[in-house]
């Protein structure tokens, strides 16, 4: 086989490998999109069809307008918007291994949303409630701020 043919075959294989990597990464993230708000990467959520039943057995935190829960079995953050005020409910989170983010519920009041993450087994996560005001582009926090205890992952 000529050097030119080997080079083309190598490039073709590399392209396929990179495409598979991009597809795999997108599938692992599990979210439609993310934006950075106040230095925090916030994922848009998807509708959670069975959240009422699932979250009943999960650790959750509650504040005005927001309920945030964590499912360690699936590394999922559930967020319910409990206020019809035009702001989005956001479940912010951070791990004990320097990873952080947020799950934004843009579905409206009374609806549960979920974000699916791939967390490190054996780590810990802490939740915080916030509201997002799209007009100002800023978070608002309950006073006093509401945090969960450090919850085990996996």
Per-residue pLDDT for 15 more than 60? no
Arithmetic mean of pLDDT over the chain: 83
Residue 65: which of 147, 141, 119, 13 has the closest Cα?
Answer: 141
d(CA 3, CA 24): 31
CA 118 to chain CA mean position, Å? 10
pLDDT value for 28:
40
Q: Is the pLDDT of residue 10 over 60?
A: no
Of residues 76, 67, 87, 81, the one with CA closest to residue 128: 67
The set of residues, in sequence order, having a beta carbon less than 8 Å from that of 149 and lying 6+ positions away, is: 59, 126
> Which residues are bridge partners to 124 per DSSP?
152
The pLDDT of residue 27 is 35
Q: What is the pLDDT of residues 60-119, one digit of tens each?
A: 999 999 999 999 999 999 999 999 899 999 999 999 999 999 999 999 999 999 999 999
Higher pLDDT, 122 or 21: 122
State the pLDDT at residue 7: 38
Indicate the pTM of the whole model: 0.76
- pLDDT of 2: 55
């Amino acid at each position: 086989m000529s050097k030119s043919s080997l080079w083309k075959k190598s490039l073709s294989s590399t392209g396929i490998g990179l495409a598979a990597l991009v597809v795999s990464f997108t599938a692992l993230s599990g979210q439609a999109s993310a934006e950075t708000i106040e230095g925090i990467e916030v994922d848009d959520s998807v509708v959670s069809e069975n959240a009422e039943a699932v979250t009943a057995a999960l650790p959750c935190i509650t504040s005005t307008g927001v309920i945030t829960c964590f499912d360690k079995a699936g590394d999922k953050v559930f967020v319910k918007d409990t206020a019809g005020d035009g702001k989005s409910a956001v479940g912010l989170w951070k791990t004990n291994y320097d990873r952080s983010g947020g799950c934004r519920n843009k579905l409206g009041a009374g609806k549960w949303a979920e974000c699916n993450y791939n967390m490190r087994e054996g780590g810990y996560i802490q939740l915080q409630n916030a509201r997002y005001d799209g007009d100002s582009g800023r978070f608002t926090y309950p006073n006093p701020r509401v945090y969960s205890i450090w919850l085990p992952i996996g």
